[in-house]
Amino acid sequence: MPLVSVVMPVYNSAATLGSAVRSVLTQTHGDLELLVTDDESTDGSMDLLREFAEQDKRVLPESAPERGGAGRARNLAIQRARGDYIAFLDSDDMWLPEKTEKQLAFAAEATAPLTFTSYFKMDADHDGESTDWVPNGRVIRAREHVDYRAMLVQDHIGALTAMYDRNVLGTRLMPEMRKRQDYALWLSIMRDGADARGLAEPLAVYRAHQAGSLSSNKLSLVEYNWALYREHEQLSVPRATRALAGAVWQSLRNSRI
C-alpha cells in the first residue's frame, strides 16, 4: 500500500483544525502520515496538535522556526515527508472519508503523476465533520485533463484535492512566494511535461470565507497572479494579460457557487 504524506500548514486555526485533522485520520486508506507545520500560532493550535499526536502516531506536528507564511510551512512539511505521494489539505477544509483511497486508484488507472478532484464548498461557520457531510449543490467541478497551456489560462486545481507522485516527479517544493505558491507548483510540474488528471467525483470540502475577508476577495489576488505570470513563468505582457483575464473570470465564477 502506498504511503501518502499529507501536508497541512496551520496558523491560528484552533476553531477548524480538529475537523480537518479528523478528516485525514478517518480516511479509508489508513497508510498515511499527517505532516503539520504550525506557523507560530497564538491560539492554542499547537497544543491541540500535540493532543492528536499523542492519540495517533500518524500525526507529526512541528513548529516553524519563524513565521514564514503558508508556502514556507508547506515546504517544511514536504521536506519531512516519507510518502510515495504528497497531498495537501489546509486546516480549515476537510476530506471526505474515501478521498485518498479513490484518488490513489484513479491515479494508478490514469497513470497520472498529478491528480485532483472535484470538491464541495461549505459556509465559513459550518461546524460538522467529514463523516457526517451531506452533499450539497455547491460543487467545483474538476476538469478531466489539464496541461500547462490550459493551466496558464486558469488554475483548475483545488489545492485541497491535489496529490502528486514522488516516485515519478521527485520531491517538489512550492516556490517562495507570498501567495499563489500552490498554483506556481502545479505550473512548474506541468512545465516539465506532466499533465494533470481530474476525478469528477467531489471528495473534499472547501470552507468559503466570510464576505469581505482577504480570502473571499479573489480580485485581491490579481497582483500575485500577475507576478506569477511575469516573474515565475516569464510570460510576455500579452500572454500574461490573457492568463490574468482567465484567472479573474474563474474566480468570479467559482465565488457564485
Same-domain pairing of 97 and 136: yes
Strand pairing category for 196-207 and 114-122: parallel
pTM higher than 0.75 for the full model?
yes
Same structural domain for residues 206 and 237? no
Cβ atoms of residues 94 and 127 within 8 Å:
no
Q: Examine the pLDDT at 249 and tell me if it is beyond 80.
A: no
Q: Which domain holds residue 47?
A: 4-211
Strand 4-10 and strand 32-38: pairing?
parallel
Does residue 145 share a domain with residue 48?
Answer: yes
Same domain (yes/no): 159, 240: no
pLDDT of residue 220: 63
Domain boundary among 175, 192, 211: 211
Per-residue three-class SS string for 139-181: EECCCCEECHHHHHHCCCCCHHHCEEEHHHHCCCCCCCCCCCH
Q: Which amino acid is at 73?
A: A
Query: Do 204 and 238 belong together in one domain?
Result: no
Q: Do 180 and 98 share a structural domain?
A: yes
pLDDT at 218: 58
Identify whether residues 99 and 41 lie together within a single domain: yes
Confidence at 219, pLDDT banded by 50, 70, 90: low
Within 8 A by CB and 6+ apart from 5, the residues are: 32, 33, 35, 77, 78, 81, 82, 83, 85, 86, 87
**More confident of the two residues 39 and 253:** 39
Q: Are residues 110 and 185 in the same domain?
A: yes
Do 118 and 164 belong to one domain? yes
Domain count, the chain: 2
Q: Which residue has the cell 467559482?
A: 254
- Count the neighbouring beta carbons within 10 Å of the beta carbon of residue 71: 21
Do residues 14 and 107 both lie within one domain?
yes
Pair 199, 80 in one domain: yes
Report the CATH number at residue 20. 3.90.550.10
**Same-domain check for residues 61 and 126:** yes
